[in-house]
Amino acid sequence: MNVWGTVTWDIARAGGFAAYILLTLSVAIGLALTLHWQSARWPRLINSEMHNFVTLLSLIFTGVHVLAVWIDPFTRFGWNEVLIPFASHYRPTWMALGIVSLYMGLAIALSTWLRPYIGYAWWRRLHVFTLVIFGLVLVHGIATGSDTSTWWGVIIYGGSVLLVGTLLWQRLYWPANAQSNAHPVIAMLVLVITLVGTVWTVLGPLQPGWNVIANNGNGSGAAIGVPVTNNSAAKSSGSSNNSFLPSFTGQLQGQMTQSGPDSNGLTTLQLHMTILNGPQGTVQVTLQGQGQGGDDGGLAVSSSLVTLGGSQSAVTYSGPLTQLNGDRLWHMTALLKGTGASSQQILVTMDIRVSRNSGQCSGTISGTGSTSASGSNI
Ligand code: HEM
């Protein structure tokens, strides 16, 4: 995975959070306006111009978010996947919520523009859907995003729910003036939905195995179908009794564990991964080196070992890495030699994304085999 892959994904994440925070502020300002929050001593900061400006900024950042998601070379979404609900190969249900909320947001923005034609009553009815949009985007971010379980992710989502929830509760339970009706039953319903949502978040998206569940077992979200020649031959393993030869591709899904530093000051990282959408098998990558300190837990790798094994392969392959680039998005290559009397070698290439917080790893693998009696690992 190259630098471009990191940049686009980081912009996608930052754009998503910027759009979400601005949407939260926009909804909060809107609610504060209906509650007639203003002080005689302060200039009227909370006004409809501010509300419109923040909403527009949120839409602009959503545009940045969606564009970066689309450009990202790791997931390689097609336009249809980014614009049509449920068409995505990556977390389809949860991405659909983001797509639907974008369309609803655009419709409500359009209704504000068309207000002189549709009338105030219709505009107001439509405006209630902004709360639905807030809910949909909240679930979209929590369930699709890779930063939900970071401490700052929890603070952003928790803080936004607290802010909007408190204002909404006040609007529904204690409306500001006599013209606005109180809706205690709806207020209770909102409270129940918030509690159910909190329990779901703790038991679902905040758990380490969420990536597999969210992605309907489809792997990491890496683009399906990395072009490697003769892939179909690789999957029909019967003739060679080896599902990795002559070549194969697949996706990787697993967990990273860390141990050390030991008495020599060496830290060990182990990536235990299963191959999905490819030949049945597992990949284990062990990296050992001197920790470089700092928050990001960098490692100056001094030794490495990659092991590839499969239920339909009599041979296990292992060897050190020949190339390791990147930080959380690792690009690795390794020349693996078959065990025992086997003279087979496989050159594997892996692009692996590791979540710093949960240790989840996911990515792609491709391998091309060769038979060489003299082959030695680099
Ligand atoms: C066409 C519409 C949309 C698409 C295709 C889309 C796609 C995505 C994808 C693929 C992710 C995962 C990124 C990651 O793992 O970090 C994501 C996360 C996220 N999205 Fe969207 N999104 C859309 C609309 C929106 C909207 C309208 C908002 C907010 C107003 C939003 C806010 C977020 C947030 C906060 C995250 C979490 C980012 C993270 O955890 O790092 N998205 N979205």
- Domain stop point among 166, 181, 214: 214
Find the 23 Cα to ligand 1 centroid distance in Å.
13
Average pLDDT of the segment spanning 249-256? 84
User: Which pLDDT score is estimated for 270?
Assistant: 87
Instruction: Based on the fold, state whether residues 210 and 237 are members of the same structural domain.
Output: no
Instruction: Based on the fold, state whether residues 172 and 298 are members of the same structural domain.
Output: no
- Domain stop point among 172, 189, 214: 214
- Residue 220 inside a domain? The answer is no
Asked whether residue 233 carries a pLDDT value surpassing 60, the answer given is no
- Residue 222 inside a domain? The answer is no
Average pLDDT of the segment spanning 127-151? 94
Tell me which residue has its CA closest to atom 23 in ligand 1: 98
Tell me which residue has its CA closest to atom 40 in ligand 1: 145
Instruction: Based on the fold, state whether residues 240 and 110 are members of the same structural domain.
Output: no
Q: What is the pLDDT of residues 306-330, one digit of tens each?
A: 999 876 666 788 888 888 877 667 8
User: Which pLDDT score is estimated for 227?
Assistant: 33
CA–CA separation, 83 vs 80, rounded Å? 5
- Residue 225 inside a domain? The answer is no
Asked whether residue 179 carries a pLDDT value surpassing 70, the answer given is no
Instruction: Based on the fold, state whether residues 363 and 253 are members of the same structural domain.
Output: yes
CA–CA separation, 355 vs 375, rounded Å? 35
Q: How far is CA 126 from CA 57, 64, 111, 114, 122, in A?
A: 20, 26, 8, 12, 6
Structurally, the chain folds into a number of domains equal to: 2
CA–CA separation, 98 vs 40, rounded Å? 39
Among 59-68, 122-131, 281-290, 352-361, the range scoring the smallest mean pLDDT is 352-361
Q: What is the pLDDT of residues 79-100, one digit of tens each?
A: 999 999 999 878 889 999 999 9
Instruction: Based on the fold, state whether residues 189 and 254 are members of the same structural domain.
Output: no
User: Which pLDDT score is estimated for 257?
Assistant: 82
Find the 335 Cα to ligand 1 centroid distance in Å.
37
Instruction: Based on the fold, state whether residues 156 and 99 are members of the same structural domain.
Output: yes
Instruction: Based on the fold, state whether residues 143 and 108 are members of the same structural domain.
Output: yes
Comparison of pLDDT for 73 and 85, the residue scoring more: 85
Instruction: Based on the fold, state whether residues 116 and 23 are members of the same structural domain.
Output: yes
3-state secondary structure of 290: strand
Ligand 1: lining residues by beta carbon, under 6 Å: 12-13, 16-17, 19-20, 23, 58, 62, 65-66, 69, 82, 95, 98-99, 101-102, 137, 140-141, 144-148
Pocket test for ligand 1, best of 7, 56, 65, 131 (most atoms within 8 A of CB): 65
Residue 356 — pLDDT band, cuts 50, 70, 90?
low
- Residue 378 inside a domain? The answer is no
Q: Which atom of ligand 1 is nearest to the CA of 102?
A: 27
Q: Which domain holds residue 172?
A: 3-214
Q: Which atom of ligand 1 is nearest to the CA of 147?
A: 40
- Domain stop point among 160, 180, 214: 214
Instruction: Based on the fold, state whether residues 74 and 192 are members of the same structural domain.
Output: yes
- Residue 341 inside a domain? The answer is yes
- Residue 226 inside a domain? The answer is no
Instruction: Based on the fold, state whether residues 198 and 247 are members of the same structural domain.
Output: no
Instruction: Based on the fold, state whether residues 192 and 311 are members of the same structural domain.
Output: no
Among 36-45, 119-128, 141-150, 364-373, the range scoring the smallest mean pLDDT is 36-45
Average pLDDT of the segment spanning 188-214? 86
Q: What backbone torsions phi and psi does residue 362 show, to the nearest 5 degrees?
A: -155, 150
- Residue 139 inside a domain? The answer is yes
